[in-house]
């Protein structure tokens, strides 16, 4: 089947926000007593899943509930960092515009912060109004719900969709949705390790930067046709 829709994850795929989320969240974890956690713990356990699910993992590690304002402080800290730092990944706009299929975003980030972050990165115009969040569905990644929701909203069959994802839960979610998926390591601190993990999770290919994306998308479209 021919490619009709490209679905982009946001954090770590369009915008280098994962590093910001990791640093801000880890600092707050240390404040509340989870001093043994490192950036490696964040990357290994929390990347690619909804923030609320990540907070539950943090609470289990901490052994008690997080403060009621933990999420608000995390989002405010991330927003402040993004407002001060340009985080759109190199080559995104050109690569996205070179692919002829329809496009949208489907992210684990809640809808309001997601749209806000895309705006701060100067990318909202590439996708609006087609920006979808796991907060709009019952289950977050690695469940397929947000990708199926996005395809349904765009009126495209899952088999005609191609997803670009930087996380293992995201790749698993796309595969569970019956979609072709490519991995992205452009914002990852350990590219070799993440490439292996994304391929093992079911990615059909992995790219390191957007200069490779139009050609890779065309190749994957030909395979699916």
Which of 66, 84, 102 terminates a domain? The answer is 84
Q: In this predicted structure, what is the pLDDT of residue 87?
A: 77
Contact 7, 106 (CB under 8 A): yes
Domain range holding 104?
5-16+87-224
* Whether residues 92 and 197 fall in one domain: yes
Residue 129: which CATH number? Answer: 3.40.50.1000
Which of 61, 84, 107 terminates a domain? The answer is 84
Residue 62: which CATH number? Answer: 1.10.150
Contact 120, 82 (CB under 8 A): yes
Q: In this predicted structure, what is the pLDDT of residue 45?
A: 87
Which of 64, 84, 104 terminates a domain? The answer is 84
Q: In this predicted structure, what is the pLDDT of residue 93?
A: 95
Tell me which residue of 5, 70, 4 sits closest to 31, measured CA to CA: 70
* Predicted structure pTM score: 0.82
Q: In this predicted structure, what is the pLDDT of residue 223?
A: 67
Q: In this predicted structure, what is the pLDDT of residue 1?
A: 54
* Whether residues 72 and 110 fall in one domain: no
Q: What angle do CA 119, 85, 123 make, to 5 degrees?
A: 25
Domain total in the chain: 2
Q: In this predicted structure, what is the pLDDT of residue 224?
A: 55
Compute the half-sphere exposure of residue 142: CA atoms within 13 Å on the CB side of its CA. 14
* Whether residues 118 and 166 fall in one domain: yes
Compute the half-sphere exposure of residue 53: CA atoms within 13 Å on the CB side of its CA. 18
* Whether residues 33 and 47 fall in one domain: yes
Q: In this predicted structure, what is the pLDDT of residue 225?
A: 46
pLDDT averages per 10-residue partition of the chain, 225 residues: 90 87 92 91 82 90 94 88 82 95 95 90 95 96 97 97 96 97 89 93 97 95 66
Q: What's the CA gap between 93 and 96, in Å, rounded? A: 5
* Whether residues 68 and 24 fall in one domain: yes
């Amino acid at each position: 089947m021919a490619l009709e829709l490209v679905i982009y994850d946001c954090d770590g795929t369009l915008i280098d926000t994962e590093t910001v989320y990791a640093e801000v969240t880890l600092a707050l974890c240390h404040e509340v007593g989870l001093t043994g956690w490192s950036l490696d713990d964040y990357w290994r356990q929390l990347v690619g899943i909804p923030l609320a699910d990540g907070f539950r993992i943090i609470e289990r590690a901490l052994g008690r509930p997080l403060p009621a304002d933990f999420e608000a402080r995390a989002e405010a800290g991330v927003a402040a960092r993004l407002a001060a730092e340009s985080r759109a990944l190199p080559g995104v706009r050109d690569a996205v515009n070179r692919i002829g299929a329809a496009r949208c975003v489907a992210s684990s980030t809640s809808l309001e912060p997601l749209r806000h972050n895309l705006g701060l990165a100067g990318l909202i115009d590439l996708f609006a109004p087609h920006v979808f969040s796991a907060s709009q569905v019952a289950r977050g990644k690695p469940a397929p719900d947000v990708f199926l929701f996005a395809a349904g909203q765009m009126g495209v069959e899952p088999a005609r969709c191609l997803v670009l994802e930087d996380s293992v839960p995201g790749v698993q979610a796309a595969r569970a949705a019956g979609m072709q998926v490519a991995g992205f390591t452009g914002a990852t601190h350990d590219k070799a390790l993440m490439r292996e993990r994304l391929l093992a999770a079911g990615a059909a290919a992995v790219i390191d930067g957007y200069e490779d994306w139009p050609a890779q998308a065309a190749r994957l479209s030909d395979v699916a046709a």
